[in-house]
Amino acid sequence: MEDSTLLNENVKWQAVTKCSSEFDGLFFYAVKTTGIFCRPSCKSREPRRENVEFFDSLHEAVSSGFRPCKRCRPDLMGYDPDEEMAQKIKSIIDANYPDKESIGREFNNLGISRNHMSGLFRKKYGMTPAKYTGKVRAAKSAELLEASDKSIMEIAFQCGFQSLSSFYELFRREKGMTPQEYRKEKE
Tell me the pLDDT tens digit for each residue of 152-172. Answer: 999 999 999 999 999 999 999
Q: Given a cut of 50, is residue 43 above it in pLDDT? A: yes
Number of domains making up the chain: 2
Q: Given a cut of 80, is residue 80 above it in pLDDT? A: no
Statement to judge: residues 93 and 139 lie in one domain: yes
- Determine the 3-state secondary structure of 176 from DSSP: coil
- Determine the 3-state secondary structure of 168 from DSSP: helix
Taking the C-alpha atoms of residue 160 and residue 153, their distance in angstroms, rounded to an integer, is: 11
Label each residue of 10-27 as H, E or C: HHHHHHHHCCCHHHECCE
Alpha-carbon distances, residue 154 vs 73, 115, 136, 140, 145 (angstroms) = 47, 33, 17, 13, 10
The domain containing residue 85 runs over which residues? 81-186
Q: Given a cut of 60, is residue 98 above it in pLDDT? A: yes
Tell me the pLDDT tens digit for each residue of 4-15. Answer: 445 789 999 999
- Residue whose C-alpha is closest to residue 127's, from 174, 95, 167: 174
pLDDT, position 1 = 43
Confidence of residue 83 (pLDDT cuts 50, 70, 90): confident
The CATH number that applies at residue 41 is 3.40.10.10
Statement to judge: residues 86 and 175 lie in one domain: yes
Statement to judge: residues 61 and 95 lie in one domain: no
Q: Do the domain assignments include residue 73?
A: no
Confirm whether 38 is a catalytic residue.
Answer: yes
Q: Work out the mean pLDDT of the chain and round it to a whole number.
A: 91
Statement to judge: residues 26 and 50 lie in one domain: yes
- Residue whose C-alpha is closest to residue 130's, from 153, 104, 155: 104
pLDDT, position 162 = 92
Taking the C-alpha atoms of residue 23 and residue 17, their distance in angstroms, rounded to an integer, is: 12
| pTM higher than the cut 0.75 | no
State mean pLDDT over 59-87.
87
The CATH number that applies at residue 153 is 1.10.10.60
Which listed residue (19, 38, 42, 72) is catalytic? 38
